[in-house]
Amino acid sequence: MGLYYRMTELFSVSLWSLVRLRVRPREVMRQFYAAGNGSVLFVSVTMAFIGMIGVYQLASTMARVLPEYSTLGGAVLQGLTRELGPVMAGLLLATRVGTGMAAELGSMKVTDQLEAMKLSGVEPIELLVLPRLIAATAAGVALAILGTAIAYFVGMFVAWFGFSVLPDTYLSLRFVREGDLIVGITKSLVFGFTVPLISCACGFEADEGSEGVGRATTRAVVISSFAVILLDAIISYIGEVLV
């Protein structure tokens, strides 16, 4: 329960600071660069392989059932937009960015730097957490869009050279609806906000010593990854009902 109360505190104080426009744009940009630009290569390579494997498996199944590939590109794009793109971006954000946030804030906690900020009249949540929440939320959306595009176009080459599916046939938007875009962007925003919130809370809850920082980092990636999967199921269900 301590982590839940810590997350509530971080969220409420960050929201109040945002309402009062106590945001440091330079720190937000620095965190966006660390979370977004620092993850581009990681996300690109991972999503490229996912696109290759996904298209190959789907095309192989279609070849055994009915060797007709006119719906291949549309089906792949819908799956990437609604599901795989946002979820994989969220999981990669948790493993790369979330762990870094938990470790950094955990180290500051065990070395009493957070208490020193409070004694100096500086609110640690406003200075450390709010910029990370804003930056990671924006980075989550950007990485999801980038990953979806890379997986889709890499899959196009697999379909072209492996199954003789021409790009004109593959590049189809016939299955992608406005609701798919709404669900995909919603997931990206929620994942991008939830991962840093959990990770920062784990860092603030770190115990004394380096072992405590290690436990906080492990806790952050495990809980963040689980939260991404759970929220994905919830948003997918709501999206099917409402969108």
131 lies in some domain: yes
Domain limits at 164? Answer: 2-19+32-242
pLDDT at residue 115, rounded to an integer: 85
pLDDT at residue 149, rounded to an integer: 94
89 lies in some domain: yes
DSSP per-residue codes, the chain: -HHHHHHHHHHHHHHHHHHTT---HHHHHHHHHHHTGGGHHHHHHHHHHHHHHHHHHHHHHHHHH----TTHHHHHHHHIIIIIHHHHHHHHIIIIIIHHHHHHHHHHHHTTHHHHHHHTT--HIIIIIHHHHHHHHHHHHHHHHHHHHHHHHHHHHHHHHHH---HHHHS--TT--HHHHHHHHHHHHHHHHHHHHHHHHHHHT--SHHHHHHHHHHHHHHHHHHHHHHHHHHHHHHHHHH-
The pLDDT profile of the chain, 243 residues, written as one tens digit per residue, is 578 888 888 889 888 888 887 888 898 999 898 888 878 888 899 999 999 999 999 998 888 887 778 888 888 998 999 999 999 999 989 988 899 999 999 998 888 888 888 888 888 888 899 999 999 999 999 999 999 999 999 999 999 998 888 888 888 777 788 888 999 999 999 999 999 999 999 999 888 777 888 889 999 999 999 999 999 999 999 988 876
pLDDT at residue 96, rounded to an integer: 87
76 lies in some domain: yes
233 lies in some domain: yes
d(CA 228, CA 197): 12
27 lies in some domain: no
pLDDT at residue 169, rounded to an integer: 86
Nearest to 107 by CA among 4, 216, 213: 213
Q: Which residues, 6 or more positions from 61, have their beta carbon under 8 angstroms from its beta carbon?
A: none
Task: Provide the b/e sequence for 6-45 (b: ≥16 CB within 10 Å).
Answer: bbeebbebbeebeeeeeeeeebbeebbebbbeebeebbbe
Q: How many domains does the chain have?
A: 1
pLDDT at residue 71, rounded to an integer: 84
Q: What separation in angstroms does the CA of 165 have from each of 78, 145, 174, 205? A: 18, 24, 16, 53
Backbone angles phi, psi at 130, to 5 degrees: -55, -50
24 lies in some domain: no
pLDDT at residue 1, rounded to an integer: 57
26 lies in some domain: no
pLDDT at residue 243, rounded to an integer: 65
108 lies in some domain: yes
